[in-house]
Amino acid sequence: MGQPDSNAARAHDADAARNRRFQELALPHLDAAYNLARWLCGNANDADDVVQEAFMRAFRFFDTFRGDSARPWLLAIVRRTWYTEWRRRASSHEVVEFDDTMDEATFEGWSAGGADPQTLLIRDEDTKLVHEALAQLPVEYREVLILRELEEMGYREIAMVADVPIGTVMSRLARGRRKLAALLMAKQGGGSPPRATAPGACAAPTASVTPLRAASNGRSSNNPGASAAGLTQETPDGL
């Protein structure tokens, strides 16, 4: 009986070591995972579900992780998990309930990223207007802006998360900033900026618009969610 007991002990030790390594690599990025999911899903409950499912998938396939940085690997899983759920809801015509509260949360973490007029306009605008404008951006532009400006990720890491070439990341960032600046200028002028819609499409999970740097032992005191109700989202391009 000694040999089976020894094998079982070694297997137990290996599992424990795997669990510890996963926690050491993954838990520091829980905030970023929740933040991205929160922006993509549009409400806290769905974001919690997406992050939980994503981390379960990450743990299940942890042995396939060979990179030096766990963050882009994990965020890519979060994004794919959200997109799978988005497609399921779109095909079943489920209605997504959006958060409709607006706290006094500041738009902390948004870096200037340069001194071009578009960036300065975005940086200097009222937080609520930026929130509302971001909620109207197509998801392929919104996600790269969030990853670049809030999570401060490099182009290569963003490309890994979004599963697109680096050149596509750069072009989406440029177009996203232009679109965001145009929406802000339209709001300044009292006009009605265009909404991202697809004819006949059901509402996709529209992002919350407050950066959430949630602590892993509790969410941020910010209660994000500019009113995104009623906005429809076009099918994500290139997802």
Residue 153: both structure tokens together:
């990720």
**pLDDT for position 71:** 93
**pLDDT for position 122:** 55
Which residue(s) pair with 218 in the sheet?
Answer: 215
Tell me the one-letter amino acid at 3: Q
215 φ/ψ angles, rounded to the nearest 5 degrees: -75, 150
C-alpha–C-alpha distance, residues 61 and 157, integer Å: 20
Q: In degrees to the nearest 10, what's the CA dihedral of 30, 36, 37, 41?
A: 160
Res 199 pLDDT > 50: no
**pLDDT for position 108:** 43
Res 213 pLDDT > 80: no
Q: Which CATH superfamily is domain 2-188 in?
A: PhyR, sigma-like (SL) domain (1.20.140.160)
C-alpha–C-alpha distance, residues 23 and 26, integer Å: 5
> How many C-beta atoms surround the C-beta of residue 176 within 10 A?
23
Domain ranges across the chain: 2-188
Residue 179: both structure tokens together:
């679109």
Residues with Cβ within 8 Å of residue 219, at least 6 apart in sequence: 34, 44, 212
Res 80 pLDDT > 50: yes
**pLDDT for position 192:** 52
